[in-house]
Structure 1
Amino acid sequence: MRKSLLRMTLRQLQVFRAVCESRSYSRAAEAMALTQPAVSLQIRQLEEQVGLPLFEYVGRKLYLTEAAESLLAASADIFDRLDSLDMNLSTLEGSLRGELRLSAASSAQYLLPHLLAAFRERYPQVTFRLDVTSRAQIIQRLADNLDDLVIMGLVPADRALEFFPFLNNPIVAVARPNHPLARQTHIPLARLEEEMVLQREAGSGIRKACDEFLQLKRVHLGQSMQLGSTEALVQGAIAGLGVALVPGHAAAAWIRRGELVCLNISELPLMRSWCAVHSRGKRLSPVAEAFLAFLREEKALIRQLAEPFEPTVADQ
């Protein structure tokens, strides 16, 4: 190992990471409560220790050099190990402490905060960082090892992943109360061929699950409209654009308020599961291990937390 690398300090790496994140010396200085000359000095000393420039300007924009990309990856490993050390020391002291880093599919955002709150009641020194994003971004985050765990519905079968299904995720058809189908019972699934059906964009987990299900049932939609979020699907159905295929948890509040009804379609809901997922072989932090144990052991509590989000089918 180069002896100069042993002179690097954690403070220098913190400043370096702040510059990488903000792509600005001045914004990094503000975030770190330092002066801009102090940030510049720390980066200059770090470049001397590394032996290569870390940043370059093109026009007015700051870019990371190849050396900076390598150092950023190494610093992430260093701080991850320190976080893990802190958690392990807390466990040895008889308490669990640390940050649980999660990303989740957008349709999980309604229920997941309630699960996190219940988990934190048991471990009050745990904090969370939750990113709500698309299925494609979640898969990329898994590949980049950015999270402790991800919460998603449709787990890719072509990747080396470990997953634990912990709660049903029903996909239902909803419409506003004055829709012609709202008061009908035992509606054949094929009836959707005559309706305007609101769906998520291609590539989303909900869209993939619905497309595979409809293909299996040989139902071919005559009209469909693509909307880019679960919230947009719900609001589109409320506005009267058509029948929306959505996760029941996402529509439950509007169903309870009477702004939507869950249609009584004979082969729905389409049952899927919410899963906690991580890369196979990933070294989980004590907090992530504890959260997985919570999901496995507290099934009754989780079902109780999910009850307010369960959709009620109209006029059965």
Structure 2
Amino acid sequence: MRLTLRQLRVFRAVCESRSYSRAAEEMALTQPAVSLQIRQLEELVGQPLFEYVAKKLYLTPAAEALLKASEDIFGRLESLDMQLSDLQGSLQGQLNLAVESSAKYLVPHLFAAFRAQHPEVSLQLVVVNHAQAVRRLSISRDDLLIMSQVPSELALNFYPFLNNPIVAVAPPWHPLCARPNLRLQDLTDFPLLLREPGSGTRRAGEEYCHQKRAHFAETLEIGSTEAQLQAVIAGLGLALLPRHAASLELATGQLRELPVEELPLYHSWCLVHTEGKRLSPVARAFETFIRAERAKISALAERFSGRLTEKPAAG
């Protein structure tokens, strides 16, 4: 098979965008040029790679297999580039990292601490919800992934490295803020603001409320954590959120953490990759950093505790 790297790059762009026109725009090509590359690739493979169903583009089994192989090919090339840099005495290259959306507040600070040790490493950060994270793991799309609920149905290596406390938040004028002790059941008289289906935080909160028999009569769906925070501040309802995600609003008094007896609900942030995955030197170095710097990571996480920290006085 005389596949070319260019054909594989075009193929990956179509897989990621599920659109010939968007792939053409991303690759700075015309749509006919993209179609030609895919047609040539299908002739080499001997099978169709894509099919349209109800005007949506889907990958065939052959495309799924080719995508997995292409990820391995490009991963090995990137690893080679990093190894050659390593032989020259410095760690260089790019860390391809995906994180669940509620971890996006913490992870840039985590990477900055890592980059202080390896200044020539760059970052490609993709923010996803839990369902998207599981899909990316199934095709080994990223070097590493940070998530809080590791799926048991996939063969994965994972390392828990930090608590992810989920708490109940309300605006400071809310009547529940005046009560010193609450049960989860006390919250159910008020609307609960939920993330979109596929969110790990939503799933964890719903499962926990069901377990505790706390059933909310009214829920509102909010499509992002930022919008959820603003909706709580606006008085549209309560929310169950990772404390890290609401730290600024809690520290500045825009929100209050409710003293619910059954909360926080604790999960752990985990560093995850597929079992048997060949990690690049940069990915290996980041994994080593996460395992070795627990004290530094805990200190970083303290910034997201919801408490304001005073700057040291000048002079």
Contact kept, 8 Å, 1:47 with 1:53, in 2: the verdict is: no
Aligned match for 2:103, one of 108, 117, 129: 108
1:131 aligns with 2:126: yes
Count of aligned pairs between the two proteins = 305
Q: Which residue of 2 aligns with 1:81?
A: 76
TM-score normalized by structure 1? Answer: 0.80
1:252 aligns with 2:268: no
Query: How high is the sequence identity, in percent, across the aligned residues?
Result: 52
Q: Which residue of 2 aligns with 1:92?
A: 87
| Other structure's SS at 1:250 match | coil
* Distance change in 2, residues 1:136/1:92 (3 Å): same
| Other structure's SS at 1:99 match | strand
What residue identity is the alignment partner of 1:178? W
Aligned match for 2:186, one of 185, 191, 196: 191
* Distance change in 2, residues 1:50/1:247 (3 Å): same
1:41-190 to 2 correspondences below 5 Å: 43=37, 50=44, 74-190=69-185
* Distance change in 2, residues 1:66/1:50 (3 Å): farther
Contact kept, 8 Å, 2:42 with 2:48, in 1: the verdict is: no
For residues 186-240 of structure 1, the C-alpha deviation after alignment (integer angstroms, 9 at most, x for no partner) is 2222211222222223442112212222233232333332322222221111010
Shift in Å at residue 241 of structure 1? Answer: 0.8
1:217 aligns with 2:224: no
1:275 aligns with 2:270: yes
Give distance in 2, aligned partners of 1:68 and 1:188.
51
Contact kept, 8 Å, 1:55 with 1:64, in 2: the verdict is: yes
Gap regions ≥5 residues in structure 1: none
Contact kept, 8 Å, 1:54 with 1:65, in 2: the verdict is: yes
* Distance change in 2, residues 1:70/1:274 (3 Å): closer
Give distance in 1, aligned partners of 2:68 and 2:227.
37
Give distance in 2, aligned partners of 1:249 and 1:166.
15
Contact kept, 8 Å, 2:75 with 2:280, in 1: the verdict is: no
* Distance change in 2, residues 1:200/1:26 (3 Å): closer
1:294 aligns with 2:279: no
| Other structure's SS at 2:96 match | strand
* Distance change in 2, residues 1:173/1:302 (3 Å): same
What residue identity is the alignment partner of 2:291? R
Give distance in 1, aligned partners of 2:268 and 2:174.
29
* Distance change in 2, residues 1:20/1:147 (3 Å): closer
Compare CA radii of gyration and give the structure with the larger one: 1
* Distance change in 2, residues 1:222/1:84 (3 Å): same
| Other structure's SS at 2:263 match | coil
What residue identity is the alignment partner of 1:214? C
RMSD: 3.6
For residues 124-167 of structure 1, the C-alpha deviation after alignment (integer angstroms, 9 at most, x for no partner) is 12111111111111101111111111111111123222211111
What residue identity is the alignment partner of 1:94? G
Shift in Å at residue 168 of structure 1? Answer: 1.0
Question: Greater shift after overlay, 297-306 or 19-28?
Answer: 19-28
* Distance change in 2, residues 1:297/1:63 (3 Å): closer
Q: Which residue of 2 aligns with 1:206?
A: 201
| Other structure's SS at 2:146 match | strand
Question: Greater shift after overlay, 115-124 or 73-82?
Answer: 73-82
Give distance in 2, aligned partners of 1:25 and 1:187.
54
Give distance in 2, aligned partners of 1:308 and 1:256.
10
TM-score normalized by structure 2? Answer: 0.81
Contact kept, 8 Å, 2:71 with 2:140, in 1: the verdict is: no
Gap regions ≥5 residues in structure 2: 309-315
For residues 58-108 of structure 1, the C-alpha deviation after alignment (integer angstroms, 9 at most, x for no partner) is 9xx999999887766544433221111112222333321211111111111
What residue identity is the alignment partner of 1:237? V
Give distance in 2, aligned partners of 1:36 and 1:200.
36
* Distance change in 2, residues 1:82/1:197 (3 Å): same
